[in-house]
Amino acid sequence: MNMSKIRFYLKDPNATKETSVFMMVNFGRHKMVRGRKKYLPLKYYIGESINPIFWNKRTNRAKETRIYPQHTTFNQRLTQIENVVQTLLTNYKYENRPIDEAQLQSALDAHIKNRSIIGIDVKLTFFMFIEQFITEAECTRSISTVRQYKNTFRLLSDFAAKVRKVDFQSIDMSFYASFKSYMDSLGYTDAYFGNQIKYIRLFMNEATERGYNDQTQFRSRKFTCPQIASDKIYLTSKEISRIRTADLLGSEKLERIRDVFVVGCHTGLRFSDLVRLQPSNFNMKEKILRIKTQKTDTVVYVPLSPETLDICKKYNFNLPRLSNSTFNVHLKEIGRKAGLTEEVEIVETKGSRKVRKIVPKYQLITSHTARRSFATNAFLARVPNLSIMQITGHSTEKAFMKYIRISGEDNARRLLQHPYFSKK
């Protein structure tokens, strides 16, 4: 997020008594000096003072010490002031108004000098709320989740700049149709559009719960993510074995990627958890792996198969740290070397148009294929659903069943083992 820089300083950091606190607000104003930008921040005294012995120069806040019991209140005041400044500047941004220093100073006087921090009358817009929400999420959500939020924010900002204004009141069925048309024009699939709608609904629900929004058309049954049949694949036990024994021509890099992938196929762990495994996660006496998952922050226990143990021992129970993007590119190469060239038909929906493609199976392999393969193969082996869910971390059977990728033929073979079909 492109937020302005705000920092607090002491007027006299060497004073032996209380000294005034001022803030420097860098809002982009600058002049060119010898071909380079020299920024001209606003210097503003906030009406607070503190003894320098209680000031932390590194954090630009009061020291959290018992000898200065007011530190909590003092720091809350600084945070409130910082939030007011950010809100004022963001308001300028989304109203497409240039930041006038005199007006900004006057606004700060009105909201800070009279200490009217609570109940500030600067209206929080839809985009301002998303920025605030993302800032909070950076402290509590995974990096990948925050990245999704930022991507949706970017798409919405572009849509607002090119198509129509977006605010809380405009997130209705008319917006849904316009945004869908916009996404179609850019060539995005319905599945990708559905992901954006999911996050827009999340933003709106959060804003509504916090009292910033009272418009609820976004909760209509028609304002939903399109239900798209997934073309995501799984690998059978035989195909996983072919990957395990594929000739990688002595490439250590491909071997490391292959080994991590195979462990994923046998444990059902997400890629983000696989690359964090270390000796403390392994109970060798019980042959059980224990890890707190990064995405959901839940603890899962996974029984260790002999093949998993062999691979983990190879790396002294510290699996290689790999990049997900690099991992996915080379996985396809490994799949090709393993001979996974079976042709698979996939269907992409773009607007009202369905595009059918025939691709070799190895082109569809990703890091997440391992987790899906684990769930599907365990399901086909008649492991109870609840037992598999304890490992994958799914809280509902509905969510779990989305992972199961079996063909009609696979399903028929599984049913042959059921008493109903085996009885005379």
355-395 tens-digit pLDDT: 778 889 999 999 999 999 999 999 988 899 999 999 998 88
- Paired with 24 in beta bridges are 7, 43
Compute the average pLDDT of residues 255-268: 96
Written as six digits, the tokens of 404 are 């199961």
| Inter-residue contact 111 to 117 (CB < 8 Å) | yes
The owner of tokens 């995501």 is: 232
**Is this prediction's pTM over 0.75?**
no
Per-residue pLDDT reduced to its tens digit, 336-353: 999 999 988 877 665 556
Average pLDDT, the chain: 85
**Cα radius of gyration (the chain):** 28
pLDDT digits (tens, 9 = 90+) for 406-419: 767 777 877 777 77
Classify domain 237-421 at the CATH topology level: hpI Integrase; Chain A (1.10.443)
The reported pLDDT for the residue numbered 282 is 95
Under 8 Å between Cβ of 1 and 131 = yes
Give counts: helices (H), strands (E), the chain.
16, 12
**Whether the predicted pLDDT of 332 surpasses 60:** yes
DSSP string, 119-164: T--PPPPHHHHHHHHHHHHHHHS-HHHHHHHHHHHHHHHHHHHHT-
Closest CA to 391 of 313, 283, 241, 289: 289
- CA pseudo-torsion sign 308, 309, 313, 314: negative
